Amino acid sequence: MVQLVPMGLKDFFVAAPKTPSESVDVSAALSPFTVSAYPLTYGTSASRAEAMAVPTIARIRNLLCSTVASLPIETYNKFTGAHVEPNRVFNQPDPRVPGSYTYAFVAEDLLFRGVSYGLVMSMYADGRIQDWTRIDPTRVLPQYNYNQTEIIGYQVDNIAAPLSGVGSVIVFYGLDEGVLSRAGKTIKAAAALESAAEMYAKEPVPQMALKSNGTNLTSERIAKLLTAWNSARKSRSTAFLNADVDLQILGIDPAKLQLNEARQYVALELCRALGVSGYWAGAEVTSLTYSNAINERKALIDFSLKNILIPIEQRLSQPDFLSSTTVQARYSLDEFLRGSALERAQVYQILNSIGAMSVEQIQEEEDLIK
C-alpha cells in the first residue's frame, strides 16, 4: 500500500532543487580542456637563451631533437600490427615547412618546457586535422578553472582560441615539467661558469689595479696610462713600474678557481638532468666498440628519447588525427637501431630458414631491388 504525503501550500511556491548535470561536447572533448596540467616549478627557472648558451645543453638538445626529427612516423593496426599508410599530416604537419623543422622544435619544447603547442590550420570533412603548425610556448597562455586545477581553454597572443576546429590549440603534454624548471639552478650555474670563462679568456690574468703613489691623476692621464699598460702587455709579459705607481692583484686566478673542474662537474650534472649519458655530450671519455655504440643507441631510446617520443605518438593517435580507434601512430626506429651488415645477414638467414622472410623481402629491406 502506497502512503501519500500531503503537500503543503508552501510547497507550490518553492522550486524543487535541481540535480546538477554535466553535458559533454564531443568535439570539444578532443581538445585538452579538461586535462589537469598544473606545471611544477622549483623556484628557479632558466630561459632558453641561457640554456642554449651552455655547450653541453646545446649539444644534447641538437642530438635529441635532430634524432626525433629524422625518425619517420608510421601508423599501424593495434591488433594485427599491419602497416597503414599514414596521411601527410603525420610527417609534414605544416605544408609550408619540412616536417623535420616542426618536430625538432616540438621535441625541444617537450625537453625544455614539458609541453608543446600546435595550432590547427585546416580540417578534413570528417573532423580530423589536416594541417597544423607548432606555436612558440611563450605565445600561449592556459586558462584555468576557478580552483586552478584544470585547463579550460587557451589564449594565443592574448586572444582566446576555440576549443575545436580551425584555430584551436593542440597540446603535446610531456612527462615532466621540463628541464628549464627542473634544473634551472644548474643551468644558471653553467651559464655563470661560461661567462667566467669568457672573462678570463679576454683577461687571462687576474684583475689588476694600478695605484698611484703620488698626486691624484686626471682622468685623461689615467686613461693614457691604462692604454699604454694594455698595449705593452700584448707585446711582452714583463712590466716595469717606477716609484710613482704600484701594481695590485685582485681576485683569484683561473687555476686556483678550478674553473675547468667546475665546468666539467656541471656538464655531467646537466647530462644527468637531461637523462643522457655523458658520452653523448663529450663530458666523459670512453672507448666504445661498434657493438657498444649500438647498445648506447638503444639506451638513448629507452632512457632519453622515450620521454619525447611517447607524448608525440600518443597525441597523434587520438581521434582528431586518426578516425579509427584500431590504428595508432608510432615512430619507426628500425633505421636508427640498424645493426652491422654481418648482424643483419645473420638475422635474415634465420628468418629465411624458418620461412618468415623471402629472398625478395630481404632484398627489399636492404634496398637491393631497383
Q: Say if residue 3's pLDDT is above 70.
A: no
Chain segment 10-34, per-residue pLDDT in tens: 444 445 444 444 443 444 444 444 4
- What is the mean predicted confidence (pLDDT) over 137-148? 89
Q: Say if residue 4's pLDDT is above 50.
A: no
First to last CA, the chain: 88
Looking at residue 259, its pLDDT comes to 63
Q: Which residues contact 212 (CB under 8 A, 6 or more apart)?
A: 244, 245
Distance CA 270, CA 267 (A): 5
Looking at residue 173, its pLDDT comes to 92
Distance CA 163, CA 156 (A): 12
Going by C-alpha positions, the residue among 139, 132, 137 that lies closest to residue 174 is: 137
Looking at residue 108, its pLDDT comes to 96
How do 245-250 and 207-212 pair as beta strands? antiparallel
Looking at residue 8, its pLDDT comes to 47
Chain segment 42-87, per-residue pLDDT in tens: 557 889 999 999 989 999 999 999 999 999 999 999 888 888 899 9
- What is the mean predicted confidence (pLDDT) over 306-319? 93
191 or 211, higher pLDDT: 191
pLDDT tier for residue 318 given thresholds of 50, 70 and 90: very high
Percentage with pLDDT > 70 across the chain: 69
Distance CA 340, CA 344 (A): 6
> How far, rounded to the nearest angstrom, does the alpha carbon of residue 171 sit from its chain's CA centroid?
14
Q: Which of 122-126, 225-229, 348-352 ranks highest by mean pLDDT?
A: 122-126
Phi, psi (5° rounding) for residue 188?
-65, -35
- What is the mean predicted confidence (pLDDT) over 290-311? 79
Looking at residue 81, its pLDDT comes to 81
What are the C-alpha distances in Å from 58 to residues 45, 53, 71, 270, 303? 17, 7, 20, 11, 19
Specify which residues 134 forms β-bridges with: 118
Looking at residue 323, its pLDDT comes to 81
320 or 235, higher pLDDT: 320
Please list, residue by residue across 115-151, b when 16 or more beta carbons sit within 10 angstroms of its beta carbon and e when fewer do. Answer: bbbbbbbebeeeeebbbbebbebeebebeeeeeeebb
Indicate the angle between helix axes 55-70 and 306-316, nearest 10 degrees: 40
Looking at residue 342, its pLDDT comes to 66
Looking at residue 348, its pLDDT comes to 74
Sign of CA dihedral 69, 70, 76, 81: negative
The position carrying cell 573532423 is: 127
- What is the mean predicted confidence (pLDDT) over 308-334? 90
Looking at residue 252, its pLDDT comes to 52
Q: Say if residue 295's pLDDT is above 80.
A: no
pTM value is: 0.71
Confirm if 119 and 135 have CB atoms less than 8 A apart: yes
pLDDT tier for residue 1 given thresholds of 50, 70 and 90: very low
Which residue type is seen at 269?
Answer: E
Chain segment 241-292, per-residue pLDDT in tens: 666 666 665 555 555 555 677 778 888 888 888 888 877 776 555 555 545 6
Q: Which residues contact 100 (CB under 8 A, 6 or more apart)?
A: 69, 70
Looking at residue 5, its pLDDT comes to 44
Looking at residue 294, its pLDDT comes to 67
Give the start-to-end residue ranges of the domains of the chain: 26-206+257-337, 210-250, 340-370
Which residue type is seen at 336?
Answer: F
